[in-house]
């Protein structure tokens, strides 16, 4: 099953429809009806399905079908052909997160044979890697279709440990529109690049403030909200005051903070401090902010049913939170107890020669077997 899923090159920039059709047909071959929730342009789709009775108290097993690109990475084997070497399964998505998807789908016959008393709801999304864009409409459709589940397990790589919290994020594009002149008369111009540099410095200063007041005991690494500029482009020549500069901002917030407040603070700084200086020289200049993506954080739950279930099935009693984002916060926002637990190490995600250790794959299979037994009682 993992080899079949890896063979679909479901990079986020491409369609995932062939992969979704395969999953739909696999489920249909076992008598399981799927619900397809397409994207607006119908180039991509989510899928959800129920195995077992349409009864409350089931468990959602959630995974995404998209993967990150392989361009520019030095792979030693074909990234879209599953390759086994020295106890590892190599291929794009093996760890993040087609390994979990494969475990869920391969377990469908066992689910049917077990005579489940409470259902398994399978949920497969698109575009998780570019800001969890598919999952919200899937969760909305599920909430209108299935009886309320008792738990949601999002199978991102966690070493089969129970992850009960993760940071939320918001990202946006900033475009600075300057006024170009010869650099010898910069006093008559507005440099888009230098203005953008001032804004990027604001991000760094805000993060430094967070670092100074951080609670090192909150479990996150780093234990504070981060602000980051990963891409910046602008300017045309050394002796020309730049007309435009564009950069991307990403905020990853600890659950006790809202990433959007940083976006609001940033815009206030732009409107109240930066733009007046620009427009005093050239009224047509300014700064445009464009939303890119947002991911809800996952807050640890008090006596959470999902956490209790995963701990019971894995024997894991450690407290774990992570800084990367998942779709778990979207399910939690719908009122469903949620946790992250899946095979693999997040350190392998997005890397060349991405791999999933076979022993982790086997641990995931044992987890599925125990879950099925639990739902059949």
If you average pLDDT over every residue of the chain, what do you get? 97
| pLDDT bracket for residue 359 (50, 70, 90) | very high
- Other beta carbons within 10 angstroms of residue 336's beta carbon come to 20
148 and 30 within one domain: yes
278-299 pLDDT, tens digit each? 999 999 999 999 999 899 999 9
| Range 210-221 average pLDDT | 94
pLDDT at 291: 96
Which CATH number is 235's domain given?
3.30.70.360
- Identify which of 162, 167, 169, 197 has the alpha carbon closest to the alpha carbon of residue 287: 197
319 and 207 within one domain: no
304 and 159 within one domain: yes
357 and 287 within one domain: no
User: What are the contacts of 356-360 at 24+ separation with CB within 8 A?
Assistant: 356/2, 356/88, 356/89, 356/94, 356/95, 356/99, 356/157, 357/87, 357/88, 357/89, 358/84, 358/87, 358/88, 358/89, 359/87, 360/99, 360/159, 360/160
Percentage of residues in the chain having pLDDT higher than 70? 100
| pLDDT bracket for residue 275 (50, 70, 90) | very high
368 and 305 within one domain: yes
127 among known catalytic residues: no
32 and 106 within one domain: yes
172 and 280 within one domain: yes
Catalytic residue among 66, 96, 316, 354: 66
By the 10 Å C-beta count (0-12 exposed, 13-18 middle, 19+ buried), 106 is classed as middle
| Residue where the block lists tokens 């930066």 | 274
Catalytic residue among 128, 307, 316, 354: 128
149-176 pLDDT, tens digit each? 999 999 999 999 999 999 999 999 999 9
Q: Which domain holds residue 96?
A: 2-164+298-376
User: Does residue 323 carry a pLDDT above 90?
Assistant: no
84 among known catalytic residues: no
Chosen domain end from 295, 316, 347: 295
Number of domains in the chain: 2
Chosen domain end from 278, 295, 312: 295
User: Does residue 319 carry a pLDDT above 90?
Assistant: no
347 and 280 within one domain: no
Query: With a threshold of 0.85, does the pTM exceed it?
Result: yes
| Range 89-94 average pLDDT | 98
pLDDT at 377: 86
């Amino acid at each position: 099953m993992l080899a079949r899923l890896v063979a679909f090159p479901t990079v986020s920039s491409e369609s995932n429809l062939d992969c979704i059709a395969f999953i739909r047909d696999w489920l249909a071959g076992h008598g399981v009806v799927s619900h397809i929730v397409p994207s607006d342009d119908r180039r991509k789709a989510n899928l959800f399905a129920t195995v077992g009775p349409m009864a409350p108290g089931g468990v959602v097993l959630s995974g995404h079908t998209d993967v990150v690109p392989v361009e520019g990475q030095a792979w030693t084997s074909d990234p879209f052909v599953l390759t086994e070497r020295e106890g590892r399964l190599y291929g794009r998505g093996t760890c993040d997160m087609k390994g979990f998807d494969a475990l869920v789908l391969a377990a469908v016959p066992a689910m049917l044979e077990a005579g489940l008393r409470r259902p398994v709801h399978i949920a497969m999304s698109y575009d998780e890697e570019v800001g969890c864009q598919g999952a919200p409409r899937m969760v909305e459709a599920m909430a209108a279709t299935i009886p309320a589940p008792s738990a949601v397990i999002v199978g991102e790589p966690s070493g089969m440990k129970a992850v009960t919290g993760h940071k939320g994020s918001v990202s946006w594009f900033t475009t600075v529109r300057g006024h170009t002149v010869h650099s010898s008369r910069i006093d008559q111009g507005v440099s888009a690049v230098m203005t953008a540099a001032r804004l990027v410095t604001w991000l760094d200063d805000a993060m430094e403030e967070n670092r100074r007041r951080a609670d090192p005991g909150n479990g996150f690494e780093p234990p504070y909200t981060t602000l980051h500029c990963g891409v910046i482009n602008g300017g045309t020549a050394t002796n020309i005051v730049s007309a435009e500069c564009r950069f991307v901002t990403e905020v990853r917030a600890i659950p006790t903070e809202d990433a959007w407040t940083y976006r609001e603070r940033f815009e206030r700084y732009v409107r109240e401090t930066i733009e007046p200086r620009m427009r005093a020289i050239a009224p047509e200049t300014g700064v445009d902010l464009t939303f890119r993506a947002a991911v809800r954080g996952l807050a640890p739950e008090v006596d959470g049913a999902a956490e209790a279930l995963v701990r019971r099935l894995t024997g894991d009693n450690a407290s774990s939170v992570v800084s990367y984002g998942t779709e778990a916060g979207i399910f939690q926002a719908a009122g469903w107890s949620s946790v992250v637990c899946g095979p693999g190490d997040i350190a392998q995600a997005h890397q060349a020669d991405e791999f999933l250790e076979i022993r982790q794959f086997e641990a995931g299979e044992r987890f599925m077997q125990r879950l099925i037994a639990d739902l059949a009682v």
